[in-house]
Each structure stands twice: as structure tokens, then as C-alpha cells.
Structure 1
Amino acid sequence: MIEDVSHLRDFPFETVTYVARSSTISCRVSAEDVFVCLFGGTQPAFWLDSSRLVSGLSRWSFMGEFGGSRSYLASYDASRQEIRIARDGRGSPTTVSRSIFELLAHSHAAHKLRDPGGVPDIPFKGGHVGYFGYELKSLTCGVSSPPSKYPDACFIVCTRFLAFDHENDRIHIVALYPEAEAASDEAALWVSKTERDIERIEPAPSVTPSSPNANSAPLQFKLRQRRARYLENIERCLSEIRAGETYEVCLTNEITVETEIDPLGLYRILRRRNPAPYSAFLRLGNICVASSSPERFLRIDSNLIVETKPIKGTAARHAIPEEDERIAEELRLDEKSRAENLMIVDLMRNDLGRICRTGSVHVPSLIRGSRSSCDARC
């Protein structure tokens, strides 16, 4: 976190203290119905979706759009070290020659929320929503990579959003506005209008995978690395492990396909077929992200407690409880899964130890239900 931001004055932001307008209503319809109705056609928009509810892991979902006081969309090009900043309906985009990390640090330091208690007790109170691309390793690791045709990082700054409390069946409608604007009529109008719109929402039309057209060509899936090259890379990884240069390699491949498909429809099918505690749908300019993950990479709370919940080793659930328990025990005792789980926990423990207070890193849960956790204090 950067407190002194004087050296970042070329960012087109002033220091702003926000206050909030909010309303809480009963959750009569699903989060999916609300997003499809209110944000299904808006650009940009986001949905941080707990599509699979797990006690203690996935109580909340959040969604919102581009709009409201001081909101903007930032797209980053790592090769040029440039950030393109588009403000909500205010002139042409601005280009700033800085890294995306400097932007996030500056924005965090320059934007404050007065009386956070005035916002409902939710873990998200507005801010940046988006993604970091793999190509950012040129900044974080000093390792170059082929340029991407997509932004290397893209974030929307959200000052208006909905928070779904799945445990208590409540929807919190929140609008932030600068304290200098006093009691913002615009924010109050947005909250009241959104409340009325939610009350009128009907279940969204169902979406199903489209059947192949008999006259259409089959989809052509392309691998970035062909089989022979991938096997060569596996041998190279094994050689590095035997030489003691590394003990963990995540060797992945990229699959691409060209097709015409509705991104939101695709995500709705994904969340139904593979519900997960940490899912997301992002529509950010010309790119959409449909994500479904059972594990949490990092969480940092207001007390600067950092938590990670990696998973290694999975198995399909079974409808019969006794069979489900047998499968879970087999997974727990599987040598390969245990080795991978120990490896990833040790890796995360080591990474947290490099940035957190000495002696504060703990592993309170290890290989329990195929999920481990590691926490520390910054």
C-alpha cells in the first residue's frame, strides 16, 4: 500500500472521500435472474458469483456495472507500459505511462470510505474488479512472454453494486458518492430505482447448449503446444527437477476455438454444470471472462490477515453418503494427491513468508476434505 502518492500525480484522479447510500431487501429472486435482467446487456459489467454455496466459504455474491461517481475502466498494455483510462461519459480516454500496480496503489490511497459502518456488513465495499493476465510476469518476475492480443490487465472501478447475502436471503443495494457532493440525489435515485427494478424481476429465460447444425462445420479446437512439443516440455521439466533446479512445475497448455457464442449464456451453462464457490463473469470492453474455481488464491481482510485455500486432488461426489465417504477416504490416502497437496501448501507458505510478518504464517488446515489453508499477517 502506497501512502505517499506525490510521485504519481500524473494519474487523472483527485483524492476523494466517499459516503454511501444503501438499502436492504429480501432476496425474492436468484442472483442469476437479477444479473440477466439488470446487467445482462450492460457494458462493462461484473458478477462475482458464489454459484456453489459452501458454509464458511461462499456466503456472498456481488454484481455491478460501469457507472456512478468517479467510476472508470482501466486497460493495461505491459509491452508499452501504458494504461488506457475511460471515464463514465466524460470525454475521450486518457493514456498514462505507468504500471497497473502503480495505478491500483494510487487509487487505493486516494479513495477512502468515510464511516465504513454506514455500509452494510459486507466484505466488498466498492473498488476494483477485473483480472491480471499471465503476461504481467514481465513486471513481477522479469521474464518476457509473447504479447497478448488482449489487455494484460483490465479493471473496472465500481461505486454502485449489489451484494447478495445467501445465508440470510438479503440483497444490499449500495451506491458510493463523494462526500463533497453532500447528500447525492443521483445515488439515492439509483438505489431506489434498483430496488423497484429488483421487485419487478421475473425468472430469466432458461439457456441450453445449442445443438450442432447439420450443415455447419465442426468446431476446430487448437492446442498452443502440439502433443510432441508438450511431451518434450514434460521431459524438460523432469530434467530440471532431477537437477534440483525446481521441485514444482505447473505445465499447462492453451486451447482456442473460433465460434459465435453468447458469453453470458456460456457462463450460465458453466455455473449450472460446474458450480463453484469462487466463480465470476466479467464483461470488460471487448473481452469476457467466464471463470469457475473451487479454490481461493488469496484473500486479504481489513485486519491485513492473508489467507489462501489451495486444492490438489479431486474426485466426483456420490449421491449415496456411504459411497461419498469411501471416495473421500480414497482421495485422502492417494499418494499422488497427498504429495501435490503438501507441495502446494509448502509453496504458498513460503510465498507468504516472504511478505508477511516473521512467525505469523500458519497452516490451520491440511489435507482436510482435499482442501488445505494457509494464513498469515501482513
Structure 2
Amino acid sequence: MPLLESQSGPSPPAVANSRSRRILFLDAYDSFTNNIVSLLKEALGDDVLVHVLHMDLKTLHADPSPDWTPEDFVARLPCFDAVVCGPGPGSPLCEADVGAFRLLWELPRDKAVPVLGICLGFQSLVAQFGGGIRKLRRGLHGMVRRIEHRDGDIFANVPEFRATLYHSLCADVGQDVISPERWETDMWLSPKGAPDLVPLAWTVEEYEDGAAEPERILMGVRHAKLPFWGVQYHPESICTDTAAHGVLKNWFSQALKWNESTGREMLPVDSEHIADSFAPSMIVERSIAAESRVATQKWWRDMQSGLAVSRSAPVYSCRRITLPDGVDAADVAEFLGVGGADSIMLDSSSTISGDPLARSSIIALEVDQALRFEYHVGDSWVTLRQPGTRDQEEVCQRIEIDSSDEHGAYDVWNVISEFWQQRKVAEEGGQEPAFKGGFMGFVTYEMGLSSLSPESISKNRGHHRPDLCFAWISKSLVLDHQAGVAYVQTLTPTPAESWIDDVVAKLQTSRAWQQPGYGSEEYKSIAAKRQPNEALLKSIQEPTGRLRFKTPKPAKYDDDVRQCQDAIAEGQSYELCLTAQTTMTRPRGNDVPRHLQQPAVTNGSSNGVSASSSSWPADEASRHGTPWQIYRTLRARQPAPFGSFIRLAGATILSSSPERFLAHDAQGLCSMRPMKGTVRKSEAVSTLAQAEKLLHIPKEEAENLMIVDLVRHDLYGVCGARRVTVPDLLKVEEYSSVFQMITVVNGQLPSYHNKNTSTSTSTKSVPNGLDVLAAALPPGSMTGAPKKRSCEILHTIEPTERSIYSGVVGFLDARGQGDWSVTIRTMFRWDDERAPPLEGEEETQPREVWRIGAGGAVTILSTPEGETEEMFTKLCGPLGVFKDAA
């Protein structure tokens, strides 16, 4: 029996039967899956249940039910009205890439289930029923094209629309042998080699250079006799016209008609194994269920004693004072004794130029006394460490976790969340500081990999450095630069009013307060001596002086770009964020900055306040720039909204990051700012308008768009369907040395209301910003898409760990508010990494090693030369600072 031809426009797929509708979504480990699930609910109705299962029949991490067997799969198909075979990396000809897709195509007719294939699912459908698969002449990842259809079948009454493409392979149904004269009619006919395939939509790719004939690309297809449809484009992309949603409505209407006309048997939902995967209510229900099981977890028992129960139920105390115009956070930090060992400052230094993102700087105090959580990927424990003091030895406690698989990485976040939940404080309303005390610290790139792609982390890493270190900060100062307010605050077992009074009194009489910006001039003079990039790169190749540099080899980076493009052309990835590391070595020296070499104003160890001096010490002949001096030069040369100075757990991080990864407030509003598309400031590109002309081109917009769609997927996975928006898309912003294209993606975490009691559950049961952070790592702007496969490819190309670089730095405060930046434009050092002394230089001690990572997004439109130039452009900012200040 041929399929019914739809002659009516998009309409709700409701039928007389009021039973809720169900769709099975087969995920091919793609990074856009959750976007499609949300779109299905938006287009078809929130009451449509969409259950997500990986195409290899593994259940989602959040799904506690067992993985399915092929027998389970076939037996449970009657529980679903239809199936969607989603997009993903790889080839439709590779069984490992499509998995259960083929089980659907091979079902006997009386068991056939309506299916929609998208991208890879579409290609699998074509390949199964006689069509060929070949490479496009040029991949079309992130490209937006007009979709041509003839207003029939699932395209009935759908206006013309443009859609985003993410593919480098395409269907070959003999379109190239059709003559131009017959194309307009024969394009809609079933090909001789695949008579069961009926073309429904096309696009034609024109090549600007005219060297090649236009390329005809099949965009939509249906099976002539079975309920199978497919589209090559991505209906869920933020840049696909909303008119395309009508195709989904038509498809589901056709699917229900098939079920009704064939009398297809439908079974009741198997609630033990089938659920509405990304409905906000289901996300909360899963969170509640997980909470009910925590008492059975290894880590839970350990969290009931020792350091894990210290500092519970803290009291928040604060004094709000006026912040004079022009006060520099670094000057204040120096006055407060920051800059030596164990320091944390999150620094909005670009506030000086009116940067709207540079709102607050946060200075942690008495970090050397702060309890911290440390975790090294692969360990079966989290370490709680209470540093020692003059009167007390260091105390450590191990929290045992399950490290048998990637679930162990999630246990780390559960441990941190449990500690935080017991120390939450309420919002007080009105104007409040960005941070009220709580966790501050860093996460490495490898920590993100540990749950996403654990096989991409070497078993023998050669070190035991923490991949996560969070310190619980109980004393801090927040400078709200835009409101002109400072907050001196504590989060302690009992109020600390006398400490606050002491700090406030000293701050208000300090030179940092009385003479704003006094300490910045000397660093500005160093920063102003910046060399042009070409001269800088040439100068560091000469092995003279104390410093030694090892930069990436341009030819090797060119080859790495080509390897990435080969993988993209084969359909393994849409975009790969390739990076390389530069190493710098120098003799070890005294890292105590000069302001800490002066007498303290009072007992600085008890209140964190010390004196500051603005003059260089007399023995500067040593020429050893301390980390603090290097950082002050960096922030003067490259002011940024998300800068940071961190010395914690053996790591030293000096960052001028312009990129926010994730911000979330206590009400569950989350915001991410993927940054892709860069142009260096120069005489030729000195204005925003000039930069917009260069960045608003297909290559640059595609780079950004791919990460935007990935970030939307990450947020939907925790926030739930229909709870993500994009208020700013492909916007160009100006920074000190570059122009960057950014997009803002917002998500709202779900809440839960108990209908029986008219009260909400405890917030402990509701997903929070920490859940979003854990789910979204590593940052998509540093991986590419699809994220999992891209990370696996990059692991084979990049020879070393990224470590601190490509991770995140930030805070989660006691209210549940957080802000995390991507660790780029950053220099970092590990205390235990050493290089041998230089031969013939009278050196006898090992040298310290510093690293800078830099890179960019490789797409099919990239050129090796262009990507290499972009990598060196990003590298030269922090590299020049190190050369001048170290």
C-alpha cells in the first residue's frame, strides 16, 4: 500500500484517541540531540513524550534503567507512535555509527514503525534502500541554505525556508546524470537504482569561483511504500527558519495516519524503561529519585563525618561601603595581602574601559586557611584538605567514590553539591554582591573529558595534580565597579563583625581607596612597550637571556589543521577546536611579591591586611618577575572582564580571559557566552564596523553557530525542553587587542511544585548551576561538535594534555549563584613541573615551566595558513607579557 499523500498544511497531530503520544529518539552521540527533542515538543505539543536512547541501545547517564538489548528494542517499539533517527558523527555505511537505525529499516512490513531520519539518520535511510553515499565537494557545516520543495507530502503547505546544514557526506541518487533540461521534472522522480526512494526536497550549492558545476544535494526523501521519511538539514538549529517546523508537524501527522490505517498494534507505555527524557518535570523527578538513593552511595557515608561536616550552617555577615571611582582591584588586593601563595582573585580589569561585562571583582581572603576539595581524574576518592597553620597540622579526609566508569566523575560533583547544600544561605533581596562566600577554584579540561570521553585521557599521566580544586572561601571582598559599592563579608560559624570593622577601617584609609589607580602606572608603562607579533616571535627564537621559549612549529600546526579537515570531510566532526601549547622556562626565584616583603599594617595573618609599596625593590637586578608582577602586567596590557589570579593546589594561573563560560543566579537562570570568530586589531581593522564586515561572513558565522547549537544542547539537557533562548546571536564585541564574535544563550532551570501539598520540594531536589557546569564541561568552544567524537579526534592530534588551559575558573557561592570563565588567554604553571638547567649557563637547579595554550576552530572552510596565523595572534598577547615581565 503506498503512503497517503498529504494535501493539507501543518496541523496538530491530534486524533480521536486521547492517549498521550510517544516518540523514541535514537541519539547517535550528537551534540544537537537535546535541541531536536525540545523542538519536537515545541512543534508537536508538550504532552508528546520523547524518550531518548543511544543508537547503540545504551541508556542515557541520567536514566537509571538498564541498557536495552536488540530484543528489548524490538519488543518496546509498539510503545511508540514513531521514531526519530538523529544526526551524529561518522558514516551511514559504518554499523558502529548507526547502530539500531538498521534494525528499524529491516523490520517486516507488518512491524514497520514510522521513522524520521535527520542528517545521519536520513543518510542511513538512503543507503539502506539503494542510494549511494559520497563526499560533498566541500562540506557544509554551519552553512544556511534555501530548501527547495514542491509543497507535497511532509512539505505540504510549508512556506519556502532556509535551513542550517551540518554535513560533508551526501546522498547520491543519480542526480548528477540528469541533464539541465530535464532537471526541473526528473528531480522529483524515484531514481532507477533506488526505486523505493522518492525525493522531496533539494538544495543546489553554487561555487563562487565558477570552477565547478553547481552541486545538487538531496535534502528530503520518503520511502515509497513504508513509513520512512528523512531530511538532510537540521530543523533544530537556531538559524533554521521556523517555517521548517511545519515539516515536523506534517511528518507526525503522516505517522499517526499510517498507524491508524494499518491497525498497527500500540502497547501501553513501559514506565519502568520509558520516560519523557527532557521534560522539565521529569528532570526534577529524576533528581528527587537520585536524592532518595544517595544513602546507598559510597561517598554519602564519608560525608557524614570529619571535615565534611565542618563549617555547616554558616552565618553571613557583610558591610557595604562606597567604592570610590577608579579604585583598582589589584591595588586593593595588594593592600589586603593577596599575591603570594594560596591566592584567588577574579578580576574585571576591563571595567576601566566601560566594559558592561566587567561588573565585579572578587578577592578571596585567608585562602591559606580555606578548606579545599581536590580530585585527580581516575582516583577513587575526593580529598578534603584543611591546610595546616602554625598551631595545627594539615588535616585530610578521603571521600570514597565509584571510579569504575565515567559515573565516578559525576560522584565528584555530588560530593561538592552535598557539602554546598548543607551551607546554603538565603537571598536577602535588594542589591546583593556577586559572591557571598562559597566555592572558588578551577577545573581542568581533562576533568570535563572524564565524564564525556574517559578513553581520551591517558592511563599514565605522569603526575598526580588535581583536575579540580575548589576552596571554600569564608572571608572575601567584592568590588561592584558599576554600582560603586564594595562588600566586606564573612561566611563563618559565628558573626565576625570585629574582623569586618577592622578591614573596613583600614580599606577606607588605604592608599588604594584614597588615591585610586595609584599602583597601575608602572605596569601600564611596561604594557605599552608591546612588540608587534612578528617581531616578538622572531625575538624569542634567539636563545639569549634567562628565558627560553618553545613555540608550536607552523608547519606542524598546518599539518594538524589538515588532519582536522580530513576528519571533517569524512563526516567525523562538524568543527574541531584545535590547540597547541607554548612552553617557557626560567630559573626559579623568589615568588613573594614586593608588597608582601613589607611590614604588615597589623597582624596580617589574622585579618588578611598588609601594607603595599609602589616602588620596585632595590635588588631588582635579580630580574625575577613574580607571578603577581607578571599578572599585573598582563591585566594592564590585556584588560578583560573575566581575568583571574589564582595560586592554589600547586597551580599558578594568570588569566585575561574574555570569555564567560557559564553564569547562573540563585533562581536558576543560566547564561552561556560562546565566543568564536576573531580578528586582530590593526591599522586596517581598528573600528567595530570594520571588524563586523570581516566577521559576518559564512566561515566565521559557521564557527560560532556550531558552538551555539552545541551550547543550547548542553543547557536543554539540564534545564529541559523549551527552556532555552538566544537573546544575542552572532554579535561582534571589541576587546583590547582583538574583536570577537559572541552569542548569548540562556536557560532556566526547572522548579518543582507538589500538587498534593501545594508546596515546593526542597531546593536540594532541584537541579542547580553545579549540575549545568558538570554537564557542559569541557567548554564546547574549546572542543568542537559533536563534542564527544571531536574530543576523541583531538586526542589523537594534540600530543599533550591541555590541563588548566581549556578548563574553567570561577565560583559557586552559598546562595547558588555562580560565574565561570573559559581558561584562555592564560599563562599557567604547576609547582612540580621542572625543566633541566641550561648547559653552559652556570645553572645548577631545575627550571620552572610555564605554559600558554592557543588555537582556534577548524572548519571545512579554514585554511592551514589562516588557522596558524589565528593561533599565533592569540598566543602573542600573553607570550609578550611573559617575555617583558618574567
Q: TM-score w.r.t. structure 2 length?
A: 0.38
Number of the residue aligned with 2:722: 359
2:369 matches 1:77: no
Number of the residue aligned with 2:359: 59
1:293 is displaced (CA, Å) by 1.7
Distance 2:714 2:649 in 1: 33
CA displacement, residues 9-64 of structure 1 (integer Å, 9 cap, x when unaligned): 31332272222221112224321111012133454221111111255422111111
2:731 matches 1:368: yes
1:267 is displaced (CA, Å) by 1.0
2:251 matches 1:251: no
2:502 matches 1:193: yes
Q: Secondary structure at the match of 2:727?
A: strand
1:276 is displaced (CA, Å) by 1.1
Distance 1:244 1:285 in 2: 41
1:269 is displaced (CA, Å) by 0.8
Number of the residue aligned with 2:439: 128
Q: Secondary structure at the match of 1:80?
A: coil
Residue type of the alignment partner of 2:442 = Y
Deviates more, 1:3-12 or 1:103-112: 3-12
Structure with more contact order per residue of length (Cα contacts < 8 Å, sep ≥ 6): 1
Choose from 639, 644, 656 the match for 1:280. Answer: 644
Distance change (3 Å), C-alpha of 1:230 and 1:215: closer
2:660 matches 1:296: yes
Number of the residue aligned with 2:338: 40
Residue type of the alignment partner of 2:476 = F
Number of the residue aligned with 2:568: 241
Q: Secondary structure at the match of 1:353?
A: helix
- CA-based RMSD of the aligned residues comes to 3.2
Distance change (3 Å), C-alpha of 1:196 and 1:3: farther
Distance change (3 Å), C-alpha of 1:234 and 1:106: same
Distance change (3 Å), C-alpha of 1:67 and 1:161: same
2:160 matches 1:160: no
Larger-Rg structure: 2
Check the 8 A contact 2:323/2:485 in 1, yes or no.
yes
Distance 1:67 1:344 in 2: 35
1:289 is displaced (CA, Å) by 0.7
Deviates more, 1:87-96 or 1:258-267: 87-96
1:148 is displaced (CA, Å) by 6.3
Number of the residue aligned with 1:222: 550
Number of the residue aligned with 2:318: 22
Residue-pair matches, total:
367
Q: Secondary structure at the match of 1:143?
A: helix
Distance change (3 Å), C-alpha of 1:354 and 1:326: same
Distance 2:747 2:415 in 1: 26
Distance 2:575 2:632 in 1: 34
Residue type of the alignment partner of 1:127 = G
Number of the residue aligned with 2:421: 109
Check the 8 A contact 2:679/2:695 in 1, yes or no.
no
Check the 8 A contact 1:119/1:174 in 2, yes or no.
no
Q: Secondary structure at the match of 2:308?
A: coil
Distance 1:218 1:357 in 2: 54
Number of the residue aligned with 1:267: 631
Choose from 319, 344, 368 the match for 2:707. Answer: 344
Check the 8 A contact 1:349/1:361 in 2, yes or no.
yes
Distance 2:455 2:475 in 1: 37
Q: Secondary structure at the match of 2:428?
A: helix
Q: What runs of 5+ residues in structure 2 fail to find an aligned partner?
A: 1-286, 402-410, 512-517, 530-538, 589-624, 733-740, 750-886
1:163 is displaced (CA, Å) by 0.8
Check the 8 A contact 1:36/1:204 in 2, yes or no.
no
Check the 8 A contact 1:43/1:285 in 2, yes or no.
no
Q: Secondary structure at the match of 1:314?
A: strand
2:678 matches 1:314: yes
Distance 2:395 2:456 in 1: 28
Distance 1:304 1:255 in 2: 38
Check the 8 A contact 2:333/2:339 in 1, yes or no.
no
Check the 8 A contact 1:120/1:172 in 2, yes or no.
no
Residue type of the alignment partner of 2:322 = S
Distance change (3 Å), C-alpha of 1:319 and 1:253: closer
Residue type of the alignment partner of 1:112 = K
Q: TM-score w.r.t. structure 1 length?
A: 0.85
CA displacement, residues 157-178 of structure 1 (integer Å, 9 cap, x when unaligned): 1111111111122211011122
Q: Secondary structure at the match of 2:309?
A: coil
What fraction of aligned residue pairs are identical, expressed as a percent? 28
Choose from 321, 324, 334 the match for 2:687. Answer: 324
Matches within 5 A, 1:173-188: 173-178=488-493, 181=494, 184=495, 187-188=496-497
